[in-house]
Structure 1
Amino acid sequence: MDSSRKILILGASGLIGRFLTGDLRQRGFGVVAVARKFAASQVSQALDLEMPLLAMEASALARLIGEHAIDVIVNCLGVLQDAPGNDARAVHRDFVERLLSAIKANGRVIRLIHFSIPGSAKDDHTAFSATKREGEQMIAASGICYVILRPGFVVAPAAFGGSAMVRAFAALPLALPAAESAKPFQPVMIEDVAATVAWLASRDVEDGSVSGVTWDLMQQQPVTLGEVVSSFRRAFGTSDWPCIRLPGFLRDIGVKLADLVSWLGWKSPMRRTGIVELRRGVTGDPSAWIRATGIVPAELDGTALRAATIQDKWFARLYLIKALIVASLVVFWTVSGFIALFISYDAAAGLLRSHAFPSMLVAPITVLTSLMDMTIGVLIAFRRTCGFGLIWGILASLGYMIAAAILTPDLWIEPLGALVKTGPAIVLMLVALATLDSR
């Protein structure tokens, strides 16, 4: 294997891109990994570069390729659904157009390995799949050296989006609706995907036998989504658990809520596009890929998965509960502040007066604390400001407890125990803060 090639990975912070970066570097390839934003734990080398890829013109992309003498480009960029900061057309089509211009302007033969989705164009009913297919068509018509890879459901040590959702259902006594469980869902292990990219990267860029090809990457044995979840249940040790099958109306409510919160920055796999693509199924024909590379894909029959560790189980069990925690905290802060300010203002102010609170401070304190509570709730609701809102909520709760201990200590023995209950609320915010990272 020729590992002297320089490889540029675009979208290197994602599920596939991050694994490829580490795998190819271990194989000895020189890898330049680029993403809009890396988590602090993902940056391991100086060649892990943060760049605004979607804002870069073709000339800037050409400079990036030329400065690092890139031989192979691996494009892992993708978004599931339009939302603030996410535009399927901009990612899957417009960026690909600029990338192709940059490759042509470079003047060298460069192989593009482009990740797309399996299936037929006639089944493309979402902006996600339609723009993915447009990107494929542009690449095929470009005349450059390219390989389009269409992986099935990717199973990796890390979990994000749909792969995290599958783990959550496997680790909890929940079952998908029958219609979704029966959908074909051919998986592929991330190690087989990485082996394919390494095999392609080692081939001569002018080798016509691996240029202008499209491969489906997935196991040969057809399976359903329900069988994939069952494989994970065996890994989690939950195969014998009785499960509650979620009714369709709960799924539909979840989809509407997921679409709504996507405008707040939360990227749930339960959004409308995710469900439409799930109903389409994941199928393809991996024979051309297997024949060309000699790679025999692992079968997800329960043996391909390692036994789940305690951290795997905690993540899977908390994945859905995390959403409930954040939602409950948003409601807790915004509703409590709204009630105190608009519905029960007299009662809230009277509570302070009844505990000998200085009368001149009752009104401003009641108004300011109510506004602060609602502000904390709004901050927690938005993904970008959630961490700040949680920290502010913890500090505000501690401030309430300390102020009450100094100014109105008898509130601590109130029959309803309002201040005593603040302690568990702080713990819940600490849990939300600890599980906030998504990558």
Structure 2
Amino acid sequence: MITPTTSRILVLGASGLIGRFVTDDLRRRGFATIGVARAFSASQRVSPADIELPIMALDATGLAGLMRGHEIDVVVNCLGVLQDGPGSNTDAVHREFVVRLLAAIAACGRSVRFIHVSIPGTADEDHTAFATTKREAERLIAASGIPHAILRPGFVIAPSAYGGSAMVRALAAFPIDLPGKDAATPFQPVAVADIAATIAWLALRPVGEDMRAVSWDLMQSEPVTLGDVIAAFRRSYGTADWRRLAIPAPLINLGAIAGDFASRLGWMPPMRSTAIAELRRGVRGDPAPWIAATGITPTTLAETVGAHGAPIQDKWFARLFLTKALIIASLVLFWVASGSIALFISFPATTAILTTRGWPEGFAIPFAAITSMMDISVGVLIAFRKTAAFGLAAGIFVSLGYMLGCAVLTPDLWLEPLGALVKTGPAIVLMLVALLVMDNR
């Protein structure tokens, strides 16, 4: 008989929204669970059973060795990326990796059940690389002959929030509305706890003919729209009675273009062209086979979100989520613009500030040029995700240097009518806020 203590589970993508919850939930149920991810955040490194591995770089032999070494009985694949970009390739993650994983399961010498987390919908609705590669992976799994379960969750509601789930929360926290057509999109939700319960249920079942190959849509049965989901969060946040301004559809499209550009700089904004396309396609499916087979009663939207008021930390997160992008963009513009104006437009005036206070011209000119280029460099560093934290720290250091240097060398600038130096203090605070909200998970 299979029990939680005898079944060993490998969760791939254990740092993500679904993967993290599933890994922790399986352990609470008594399963020996190995969580694998390319990297875990500092707050996720709580168990020695979580392993950081360059999982995408492993070939079939390496993956098979991982399963044999840990005596794995169940493999849960939660890996996924939304859109192609620097460091992200939908075909490599969704299709090529699954090919290697299937080969590894076949070659590992163990009886392994494969549980694959996919997306709802049908092939004729797939119009993005995200969707088509996910569907191709499903076809490969179905044709492999390996005991498997393909799970297609609806819109996942979890205690944590990344990407699209965070954007829905942010929309609920601001006095804005989606266009009517977008708000009416079918958007069937599912509680992440129901996904975890399904995986645990499968892990306890022997691989018989009735459970050898299943494909289930995981979502609540009652029809729900995107507007309904946002409204549920509004009730939780206490913003349901606010007056709202409808966002024009072209503005959403413009935001998607801006998000695509930001992704080229290493950021992972929730509003990208693929996200908007998938949102407008909607989330729908038939959960009846899943409910009938497992006996799980899906948690409803009202039970998941509307049963209690949001704690203050959730409300702060929802308000700050979209504001974070505005903060980063404004700081990039501030540093690049201030340095460019001083260097290319007002350079004579910049040097005059120093020479009229007794600085030798041979020193004032290179000093003004260096500080202007330093400002531009700070802005460029903040613009790229990998260097943003360093750029923000550098910006704080440079700003404090300007304030201290002017206090010693040109103290009269503190009394300048427009208060340029006085305004540096709030800029430092804004950079500190940006540093504090840099974490994504």
* Aligned equivalent of 1:428, options 427, 430, 434: 430
Rounded to whole Å, the distance in 2 between the matches of 1:123 and 1:169 is 26
Using the TM superposition, give the Cα deviation of residue 302 of structure 1 relative to its aligned residue in structure 2, in angstroms.
5.9
The sequence identity of aligned pairs, in percent, is 59
Rounded to whole Å, the distance in 2 between the matches of 1:363 and 1:110 is 70
Structure 1 residues 11-20 or 342-351, which shifts more? 342-351
Alignment of 1:223-302 (within 5 A): 223-301=224-302
Secondary structure of 1:307 counterpart: coil
Rounded to whole Å, the distance in 1 between the matches of 2:29 and 2:214 is 24
Q: Given that residues 182 and 226 in structure 1 are in contact (C-alpha distance below 8 angstroms), is that contact kept between their aligned partners in structure 2?
A: yes
* Aligned equivalent of 1:151, options 144, 150, 153: 153
Using the TM superposition, give the Cα deviation of residue 202 of structure 1 relative to its aligned residue in structure 2, in angstroms.
1.2
Q: Tell me the amino acid that sits aligned with residue 398 of structure 1.
A: L
| Length, aligned pairs only | 438
Secondary structure of 1:141 counterpart: helix
Q: 1:162 aligns to what?
A: 164
Using the TM superposition, give the Cα deviation of residue 303 of structure 1 relative to its aligned residue in structure 2, in angstroms.
6.2
Q: Tell me the amino acid that sits aligned with residue 371 of structure 2.
A: T
Rounded to whole Å, the distance in 1 between the matches of 2:265 and 2:60 is 31
Q: Given that residues 357 and 407 in structure 1 are in contact (C-alpha distance below 8 angstroms), is that contact kept between their aligned partners in structure 2?
A: no
Instruction: After superposition, give the CA deviation of every residue in 1:45-104 in whole Å (9 maximum; x if it has no partner).
Output: 112111111111111111111110000000000000000000000000000000011111
Alignment of 1:27-66 (within 5 A): 27-66=29-68
Q: Given that residues 336 and 379 in structure 2 are in contact (C-alpha distance below 8 angstroms), is that contact kept between their aligned partners in structure 1?
A: yes
Structure 1 residues 360-369 or 128-137, which shifts more? 360-369
Q: Given that residues 232 and 302 in structure 1 are in contact (C-alpha distance below 8 angstroms), is that contact kept between their aligned partners in structure 2?
A: no
Q: 1:105 aligns to what?
A: 107
Tell whether 2:394 aligns with 1:375. no
Q: Tell me the amino acid that sits aligned with residue 287 of structure 2.
A: P
Alignment of 1:397-412 (within 5 A): 397-412=399-414
Secondary structure of 2:99 counterpart: helix
Q: 1:317 aligns to what?
A: 319
Secondary structure of 1:267 counterpart: coil
Secondary structure of 1:150 counterpart: strand
TM-score, normalisation: structure 2: 0.98
Rounded to whole Å, the distance in 1 between the matches of 2:273 and 2:311 is 32
Q: Given that residues 85 and 264 in structure 2 are in contact (C-alpha distance below 8 angstroms), is that contact kept between their aligned partners in structure 1?
A: yes
Instruction: After superposition, give the CA deviation of every residue in 1:354-381 in whole Å (9 maximum; x if it has no partner).
Output: 2333433211111111111111101100
* Aligned equivalent of 1:347, options 346, 349, 363: 349
Q: Given that residues 113 and 147 in structure 1 are in contact (C-alpha distance below 8 angstroms), is that contact kept between their aligned partners in structure 2?
A: yes
Instruction: After superposition, give the CA deviation of every residue in 1:88-133 in whole Å (9 maximum; x if it has no partner).
Output: 0000000000001111111111001000000010010000000000
Change (3 A) 1:103 1:231: same
* Aligned equivalent of 2:133, options 131, 152, 155: 131
Rounded to whole Å, the distance in 2 between the matches of 1:362 and 1:372 is 15
Q: Given that residues 258 and 271 in structure 1 are in contact (C-alpha distance below 8 angstroms), is that contact kept between their aligned partners in structure 2?
A: yes
Instruction: After superposition, give the CA deviation of every residue in 1:163-205 in whole Å (9 maximum; x if it has no partner).
Output: 000000111111111111010000001111111011111112x
Q: Tell me the amino acid that sits aligned with residue 324 of structure 1.
A: L
Q: Tell me the amino acid that sits aligned with residue 430 of structure 2.
A: L
Rounded to whole Å, the distance in 1 between the matches of 2:374 and 2:305 is 51
Q: Given that residues 235 and 302 in structure 1 are in contact (C-alpha distance below 8 angstroms), is that contact kept between their aligned partners in structure 2?
A: no
Alignment of 1:377-396 (within 5 A): 377-396=379-398
Rounded to whole Å, the distance in 2 between the matches of 1:68 and 1:343 is 64
- RMSD, aligned α-carbons: 1.0
Tell whether 2:195 aligns with 1:201. no
Rounded to whole Å, the distance in 2 between the matches of 1:210 and 1:379 is 52
Rounded to whole Å, the distance in 1 between the matches of 2:58 and 2:255 is 36
Rounded to whole Å, the distance in 1 between the matches of 2:270 and 2:399 is 33
Secondary structure of 1:361 counterpart: helix
Using the TM superposition, give the Cα deviation of residue 304 of structure 1 relative to its aligned residue in structure 2, in angstroms.
4.6
Secondary structure of 1:74 counterpart: strand
Secondary structure of 2:39 counterpart: coil
TM-score, normalisation: structure 1: 0.98
